[in-house]
Amino acid sequence: MFNAKKVKDDCVRWIQDWFEENGPGCNAVLGVSGGKDSSICAALCVEALGVDRVIGVTMPNGIQPDIDDSFQLINHLGIRSYNVNIGESYNALMAEVEDKLGHPASDQTRINMAPRLRMTALYAISQSNNGRVVNTCNLSEDWVGYSTRYGDAAGDFSPLGGLTVQEVLAIGRELGLPENLVYKTPSDGLCGKTDEDNLGFTYAVLDRYIRTGICEDPATKALIDRKHQMNLFKLKPIPHFSPEL
């Protein structure tokens, strides 16, 4: 049985220990999307470090229809925040890339450029505020590579990297966060589809498979296994050649 309070308390201590080793007195800086992962990461950091050492950054790409959810979380926790609109940078860079390509960029290029620009903005804010960047990905997303390398998959420390979606939800309830943020339908905010639409299976099915190895549907199991194997490289350090000297 998953003990949300114990795991929450353990994670808070882990964050404290990490900062003692990797940045005593530094601030935690994270992108606030208004979804469960960034909301829960922010709340964990507030409990671990105090409200004055957590900075939220909203990063709409032009207009973000659900940005009020991000501001709701910021106001609920009372943290400092910045709003950095990446829209003009995104449009300018995409135009330059397509001009040099001589043809339209691929759909994946269009989808992944925004999170990579957001991570650039996060590190800019962080380095100007004595900060450390929070990776807000969870284990379920990482397991099947549902993240953008050097985008939302980047960061300096990862509070939720060992927790499935169902476990993250339980911690969100334990933290007393607004239910509309904890239970917000997960979406990448990029292509107009939900996470589960993109993945082809539900997080509940994926989480059960991760924790128990059980997945009744052979086709779903094969799809999860394929995604996991194809995306393992995202979780590993960059390989380097080691010469024999």
Is the pLDDT assigned to residue 190 strictly greater than 90?
Answer: no
- Mean pLDDT across the chain: 95
Residue 170 has pLDDT above 80, yes or no: yes
Question: Which of 146, 137, 230 shows the shortest CA–CA distance to 190?
Answer: 146
Q: In this predicted structure, what is the pLDDT of residue 194?
A: 87
Task: For the beta carbon of residue 134, count every other beta carbon within 10 angstroms.
Answer: 28
Q: At 57, is the secondary structure helix, strand, or coil?
A: strand
- Given a cut of 80, whether residue 187 has pLDDT beyond it is no
Instruction: Find out whether 181 and 69 touch, Cβ atoms under 8 Å.
Output: yes
CA 223 to chain centre: 22
pLDDT at residue 50, as a whole number: 98
Looking at residue 235, what is its pLDDT? 87
Domain boundary assignment for the chain: 4-185
pLDDT in tens, 41-87: 999 999 999 999 999 999 999 999 999 999 999 999 999 999 999 99
DSSP strand pairing (54-58 vs 131-133): unpaired
pLDDT in tens, 15-38: 999 999 999 999 999 999 999 999
Q: Give the sheet arrangement for strand 80-83, strand by strand.
A: 80-83, 54-58, 27-31, 131-133
Helix (H) or strand (E) run with residue 30 in it: strand 27-31
Strands 54-58, 80-83: pairing kind: parallel
Half-sphere CA count of 172, side-chain side, radius 13 A: 26
Hey, what are 51's tokens? 């409200």
List of residues 6+ apart from 88 with CB closer than 8 A = none
Per-residue burial over 52-64, b if 16 or more Cβ lie within 10 Å, else e, is ebbbbbbbbbeeb
What architecture does CATH give domain 4-185? 3-Layer(aba) Sandwich (3.40)
